[in-house]
Amino acid sequence: MKNIDILGRRNVRDIVKKVIIYATLMFFAGLLLVPFVWMISASLRLDRDVFTVPVQWIPRNPIWTNYVNIWTRIPLLVFIGNTIRLTAIVTLLQLLTSSFAAYAFSKLKFPGKNILFLAYVGTIAVPWHVFMVPQFIMLRSLGLFDTHMAIIILQAFTAFGVFLMKQFYDSVPTELIEAARIDGMSEYMIWRKIMLPLSKPALATLTIFTFVFVWNDFLGPRLYLVNTQLHTVQLGIRNFIGQFSTEFGLVMAVAVVSLIPVLIVFLALQKFFVQGIATSGMKG
């Protein structure tokens, strides 16, 4: 009877702990969602009602025309098309270059590999603002100013992506690679037929990070893109912010629309994203 009582008490304590943990997590998750709820609510109000106190989370008279006006006030469709094109190209290039370089650093042997890897990854600690001006001068001298190619070249390579992919590749048994080499497969074939299929979680993780960064990037397009027809969504939002007034309702409406692609990509890759975060730090 005592053992049964002890087991019963332990079960009750475990249940209470789980309830407390889940309740705490739900509370903080709710806090994180508050700004997004406010953004959606503000997108359905007039400018004068956006910052009313107390906050009206559910507008009494929703202004659905805000979502119509954002398409007529600015060429939003052009901006979204530019952003999708840039994001897709940069994401694909980062997946290609990062996975390819990570395979070399992880599974190939060549002189100075460790020093080169540390030097390359060390650039993560250098803020972009440090070399922003020399980079701008170089791209302008190449005739790439006010072109999408400037943004693509800047973001096609990333030390973070190489580091993330290498951590995952290190968990792949070296014996598998050696067996493939004995079978006569070249390094390119090993990378394409073995490493890439095995690294779907890491690729999905890098896809999400890259997609979100490029989609939300403001400073890069702001520096290099002058022609309105080349602008991205983030620069388009700037059109509703004037010198003396800001149309907050329209700004929030554009922000909600620009959030949808990011949300779709994250939800589509969420399963692989969680798995990639869990496995990319493991050592084989």
Query: What CATH number does the domain containing 101 carry?
Result: 1.10.3720.10
- Would you say residue 174 lies in a domain? yes
Q: Could you tell me what percentage of the chain is helix, strand and coil, using 3-state DSSP and rounding each to the nearest 5?
A: 75, 0, 25
Tokens encoding 229: 């027809």
Question: 157: helix, coil or strand?
Answer: coil
- Per the CB < 8 A criterion, the answer to whether 165 and 206 are in contact is yes
Q: Whole domain around residue 177: which residue ranges?
A: 66-279
Please state, as a whole number, how many other Cβ atoms lie within 10 Å of the Cβ of residue 213: 17
89 and 140 in a common domain: yes
Global model pTM greater than 0.85: no
146 and 224 in a common domain: yes
pLDDT tens digit at each of 284 positions of the chain: 555 565 566 677 778 888 899 999 999 988 988 888 888 988 888 878 778 778 778 888 888 898 998 898 889 899 999 999 999 999 999 999 999 999 999 888 888 888 999 888 888 888 888 888 889 999 999 999 999 999 999 888 889 999 989 988 988 888 888 888 888 888 889 888 888 888 888 898 899 999 999 999 998 999 999 999 999 999 988 878 765 567 888 888 998 999 999 889 888 887 776 665 555 444 44
Task: Give me the number of domains the chain comprises.
Answer: 2
Ramachandran angles phi, psi of 109, nearest 5°: -115, 125
Tokens encoding 230: 């080349």
What is the Cα Rg of the chain in Å? Answer: 25
256 and 132 in a common domain: yes
